[in-house]
Amino acid sequence: MNQTKKLLIIGFVWPEPNSSAAGGRMMQLISVFKENGFEITFASPALDSDFMVDLAVFGVGKKSIELNSSSFDDYITGLNPDVVLFDRFMIEEQFGWRVAENCPKAIRILDTEDLHCLRTARQKAFKEKRTFELFDLLSEEVAKREIASILRCDLSLIISGFEMKILNDIFKIDSKLLFYLPFLTDEMNESDLLNLPLFEDREDFVFIGNFLHEPNWNTVQHLKETVWAFIRKDFPEAVLKVYGAYPSQKVLQLHQPKEGFFIMGRAADANEIVKKAKVVLAPIRFGAGLKGKLLEAIQCGTPSVTTETGAEAMHADLPWNGFITNDMELFAKQAVALYQDKNLWKQSQKNGIAIVNACYQKSKFASVLINIVNDLMSDSENHRLHNFMGSLLQHHTLKSTKYMSKWIEAKNKN
């Protein structure tokens, strides 16, 4: 084995931690591997963006790669990584077979980000105006692809305890193939609150979220069409500022200053905006994973009001840093109460500290992950021997995806 352990991350997009929770999650993963002596290269077929992080600042190499091109085979053979991490199952579908063929000893890890099949099935149920049932997942095409990808990998990183339960109970995935890894934060204590703006120095309700993510657009629609009227009825001077990267024209059309509803566009520094706000509103109707915006609110000492879907798997049954309800009239009343009642607001702020320390401390998860990866590197053969379904899927994927990809590559040359 190489003395310096090499990690290749293949990204769906280049990380944009200021645009999305997924970008922040990726930077957390990079920091864990970096701190444990891995030499990291980040490769992606995506175009560069104006808001992508400068990977060189973090000591990470950058490589642009092509889809359906054997140039990747030459690249990865030369790099010869010990570990390859796929950012979302679509990337594993594209590149997993090439990694397995050219670097068979490399450990393959999938970071699911969230379970796409759960988000898709919930969105479908919402649009069909029916209650989502867990067994909807079994007929979801995305589930077949995503679960196959999880099985083909040596390890998958799962961000939500609820999603771990789905994978174990509904899809019967062997727990040795899964590792629960939520967002990773430092410990917080009450003295941290002293460095944050006080109740009296904050103003406005705020929502923040990347508009390329359908649940965020749906949430803002819901705020505008339903929730905001309830809030303004009880609190006529209320102001809501909606921030988010990549707002479309339909988002911008919701800007109604006379109604106290402001579409602000991309936040230069999301953290600063949330710190200065009094309450975060997130009436999320469908989605999956953990909500980065709600964890950020806790870290900024900003109480929030959200739904059961919003807070799912986020607080280990500890009291929320605000309120959780699916009743939008009650949601509005609780939002106004949090905004106006200093004692309630401060207690909610303290609840958030307990959540961070119980659920997200980096020290609880990082070393365990690295130990598992090191064990896999030293005994991958035995691990794979016990994952027969994975090797069966790998075998058939190599046959089908490989030839489809080669056909596309040949077609592109003509």
pLDDT in tens, 137-155: 999 999 999 999 999 999 9
Full strand arrangement of the beta sheet holding 155-158: 61-64, 38-44, 5-10, 83-87, 107-111, 155-158, 178-180
**Residue 174, C-beta contacts closer than 8 angstroms, at least 6 positions apart:** 386, 387
Q: What's the rounded mean pLDDT across residues 337-349? A: 98
The per-residue pLDDT for 321 is 98
The reply to whether domains 5-184+362-413 and 190-359 share a CATH topology is yes
Q: What's the rounded mean pLDDT across residues 57-69? A: 96
> Is residue 398 very low, low, confident or very high in pLDDT (cuts 50, 70, 90)?
low
Q: What's the rounded mean pLDDT across residues 212-231? A: 96
The per-residue pLDDT for 407 is 76
The per-residue pLDDT for 1 is 43
The per-residue pLDDT for 363 is 94
Give the pairing of strands 304-306 and 279-282: parallel
Question: In degrees rounded to 5, what are phi and psi of residue 343?
Answer: -65, -45
For the cut 70, the answer to whether the pLDDT of residue 102 exceeds it is yes
The per-residue pLDDT for 131 is 95
pLDDT in tens, 260-292: 999 999 998 999 999 999 999 999 999 999 999
For the cut 70, the answer to whether the pLDDT of residue 374 exceeds it is yes
Domain ranges of the chain: 5-184+362-413, 190-359
CA 180 to chain centroid: 13
The per-residue pLDDT for 399 is 66
Percent of the chain with pLDDT strictly greater than 70: 98
For the cut 70, the answer to whether the pLDDT of residue 2 exceeds it is no
Tokens of 96: 């997993």
CATH code linked to domain 190-359:
3.40.50.2000
For the cut 90, the answer to whether the pLDDT of residue 208 exceeds it is yes
3-class secondary-structure state, position 412: helix
For all residues of the chain together, what is the average pLDDT? Answer: 95
- Average the pLDDT over each of 21-35, 130-144, 201-215, 400-414 and give the range with the smallest value: 400-414
CATH 3.40.50.2000 fits 5-184+362-413, yes or no: yes
